[in-house]
Amino acid sequence: MANLMGKYAVVTGGGKGLGAAIAGRFLADGAMGVALLDMDGDLAAKTASQLDPAGKKALAVRCDVSDAARVEEAFAQVATAFGRIDILVNNAGITRDSMFHKMSFEQFSQVMNVHVNGMYHCARQVVEGMRQRKWGRIISMASTSAFGNIGQANYSAAKSAIIGFTKTLALELARYQVTANCIAPGFIHTDIIKTVPEKVMEDIVRTIPMGRIGEPEEVAALAAFLASGDAAYITGECIRCAGGKEK
């Protein structure tokens, strides 16, 4: 268990998959409030009520992170409910896989907008408060695909941008005791990998040293550690959670 007693967090893409697992783990570890920002508001609401049946600590907010104006409204709503945000998890993500020679600019820019512009919009909402309070955690979901993956030039570019952005934020915010780190999952059981054909997935599993796909809870455990006081001296890192798979 990580100690997140009294902390307030925002998890983007918190409606399902890794985001929902992270939100659940934060609450289990004592977080005072977790906002689930998701473009699917009904899903976020359903997940929030599953994680927190009493409806006191999990807050569902419909928000497309690539929409700057909507992000501003959503964070204002969270600030009114929680008073402050100690932890931001930039997790919302999509894939639009295609070989590059067939990739449309729309496929490229949709992925960049959600992952990279979304991270920018959300981080801008929390950084000032974290600097002033001299405490904060910004955790962003990268991927082992950042290091190259056939059919994912858009996603790989976005995930590499997330790593570079994080390393720079870490340098700029270190003196304020605000950390910025990335998690690079390999293949984890969520809907995002359901589009991968079964045969391809069997081949992928053979390349994973641990011989299995990871579970969302295994990524959530790392997020909880990075969000906790125990990780106060860890910043600018990109930590793989990939069963030994390098890329």
Ligand X SMILES: NC(=O)c1ccc[n+]([C@@H]2O[C@H](COP(=O)([O-])OP(=O)(O)OC[C@H]3O[C@@H](n4cnc5c(N)ncnc54)[C@H](O)[C@@H]3O)[C@@H](O)[C@H]2O)c1
- When binding is defined by CB under 6 A, the residue of 107, 179, 190, 235 that contacts ligand X is 190
Structural tokens at position 75: 């964070």
Smallest gap, in angstroms, from Cβ of residue 102 to ligand X?
21
- When binding is defined by CB under 6 A, the residue of 3, 40, 41, 112 that contacts ligand X is 40
Parallel, antiparallel, or unpaired: how do β-strands 136-141 and 87-90 relate?
Answer: parallel
- What's the rounded Cα separation, in Å, for the pair 202 and 38? 31
- What's the rounded Cα separation, in Å, for the pair 180 and 139? 6
Smallest gap, in angstroms, from Cβ of residue 191 to ligand X?
4
**Which candidate, 198, 77, 81, 181, places its Cα nearest to that of 136?**
181
- Give yes or no for residue 94 binding ligand X (CB under 6 A): yes
Distance of CA 219 to the CA centre of its chain: 10
- Give yes or no for residue 192 binding ligand X (CB under 6 A): yes
Smallest gap, in angstroms, from Cβ of residue 187 to ligand X?
5
Of 135 and 226, the one with the shorter C-beta distance to ligand X is 226
- Give yes or no for residue 19 binding ligand X (CB under 6 A): yes
CA atoms within 13 A on the CB side of 143: 24
- Give yes or no for residue 39 binding ligand X (CB under 6 A): yes
Touching ligand X, residues 49-88 (CB under 6 A):
63-66
Q: Please name every residue paired with 33 in a beta bridge, in sequence order, or none if there are none.
A: 8
| Helix segments in 134-197, DSSP class H | 153-173
Task: Say whether 120 is catalytic.
Answer: no
- What's the rounded Cα separation, in Å, for the pair 232 and 112? 30
Smallest gap, in angstroms, from Cβ of residue 176 to ligand X?
26
Binding mask 98-137 for ligand X (x = CB under 6 A): ----------------x---x-------------------
- What's the rounded Cα separation, in Å, for the pair 81 and 204? 43
- When binding is defined by CB under 6 A, the residue of 4, 11, 18, 119 that contacts ligand X is 18
Residue in 8, 155, 176, 233 annotated catalytic: 155
List phi, psi (to 5°) of 66. -85, -5
Distance of CA 138 to the CA centre of its chain: 9
Q: How many residues make contact with ligand X (CB under 6 A)?
A: 30
Binding site for ligand X (CB under 6 A): 12-13, 15-19, 38-40, 43, 63-66, 91-94, 114, 118, 141, 143, 185, 187-188, 190-193
Residues classed as catalytic: 155
